[in-house]
Amino acid sequence: MKILLFSHVHNQNRLKISMIEFIKNMPKVELHMHVEGSMDAKMLWKLAHKNNYKLKYNSVEELVKAYKFNNLTEFIEMYMLGTRVIQSEQDLYDVCMNYFQTCVEQNIRHTEVHCDIRTYVDYGYPAEFVINALHGAFTDAKKNYGITGGFMPCFIRHLGNDVAQKDLELLLPHKEKILAIGLSAVEVPYPPSLFKDTFKKVHDAGIKVIAHAGEEGPPEYIWSAIKDIQVDRIDHGVRCLEDDKLVDYLVETQIPLTVCPCSNVALKVFDSLSQHTLPIMLKKGLNVCINSDDPAHFGANLNENMIGIAENTTIGKNEIIHMAKNAINGSFADQARKDELLSELSDYKLS
């Protein structure tokens, strides 16, 4: 009996290890990651030191501790501190390259990154500061590591439509460098409908549209993202399950939802990973994939998000592969690159 029990535990551990290794080595695509959210305490400390920016922390260890936030205010404070220590195009480029290093380690082959220009424009920098840093970093990531993708500036919704309009004017001359334009930051009470006329201009310019919706906001915000600003993809969207008609619509249209499990737990959308509704979303046929959102702040890159979900829910290897495929097909890569990524994934699955 003892031996049987031991062998059962042993087998379980072996299964667990093989799943972890499977996820780690799998070629992956990430569609929802905010550039400053990838800045870990070490990077923040380094840039603060370089730019003589006075921090209230006496050591990098203290800063690491402060990264473990207790509430939304502390999270936003630390996130904004990250933007303060970035004081040149080179600094932002270095933050991006630091993330691409993580992509290499995690076998992320294609990534689409969120950013905003408004924070830096309000600090007195030109919009090109952000655009050139990200464009330069993506060019070098492709050259050095074969990683593809691009960046997606987002309007900061709590600053309102007039500011979004100004941001759009600054972005339009650079539209060839942009993958999509999104809507991010505090969701409630700012439904996508408030930005209807600005996003009409985004569509008119031939630029794809994404929006954070249905994370803290109700299903009506997801409807608004669909009907009022005609999104190509929705960030989060987990609260769609509260509205059956919306679920039916999302299943029928297969609009991709970029779900971020560890972010959802850290920001108390769910109590724990085992409570996450991702298995239900998958079962209903929604087009979901897993992402990291703000990996440095939530203590989990893409691998850790996938492993966390696999360890704490009923989701197994087939569902992980299915979601990896969803991420490829839901990306803004051209069809040739999608085909390449799909064949890399299918070769890996068979090996």
Residues lying near Zn ion in the complex (CB under 5 A) are found at: 293
Please say whether the beta carbons of 174 and 207 come within 8 A: no
CB of 157 to Zn ion, least distance (A): 12
Residues 6+ apart with CB under 8 A from 216: 187, 188, 267, 269
Minimum CB separation of residue 207 from Zn ion in Å reads 19
Side chain identity at residue 113, one-letter code: V
Nearer to Zn ion, 89 or 293 (CB): 293
In the complex, residue closest to Zn ion by CB:
293
Closest CB to Zn ion among 112 and 293? 293
Start-end of H helices in 115-228: 118-122, 128-145, 161-171, 196-204, 219-227
Q: Which residue has the tokens 């031991």?
A: 6
CB 32 → Zn ion: shortest distance, Å?
A: 6
Catalytic-labelled residue, pool 30, 36, 112, 215: 215
Instruction: Quote the least distance from Cβ 280 to Zn ion, whole Å.
Output: 21
Helices (H) and strands (E) in the chain, counts: 17, 8
CB of 197 to Zn ion, least distance (A): 24
Cβ nearer to Zn ion, comparing 58 with 73: 73
Count CA within 13 A, CB hemisphere, residue 76: 7
CA pair distance 310, 325, nearest whole angstrom: 16
HSE-CB at 216 with a 13 A cutoff on CA atoms is: 13
**Cβ contact 289:258 at 8 Å:** yes
Nearest to 113 by CA among 129, 90, 131: 131
Nearer to Zn ion, 112 or 228 (CB): 112
Considering beta carbons, is residue 183 or 273 the nearer one to Zn ion?
183
Q: Between 26 and 113, name the residue whose CB sits nearer to Zn ion.
A: 113
DSSP 3-state of 53: coil
Phi, psi dihedrals of residue 294, rounded to the nearest 5°: -130, 75
CB nearer Zn ion, residue 293 or residue 319:
293
Taking the complex as a whole, the smallest distance from the CB of residue 235 to Zn ion amounts, in Å, to 5
Yes or no: say if 347 and 313 are a contact pair by the CB < 8 Å rule: no
Strand 233-236, strand 257-259: pairing: parallel
Rounded CA separation 328/110 (Å): 8
Active site residue 215: yes
Smallest separation, CB 1 to Zn ion (Å)? 50
DSSP 267: T
How deeply is 50 buried, as exposed, middle or buried, from its count of CB atoms within 10 A (0-12, 13-18, 19+)?
A: middle
Residues assigned a catalytic role = 215
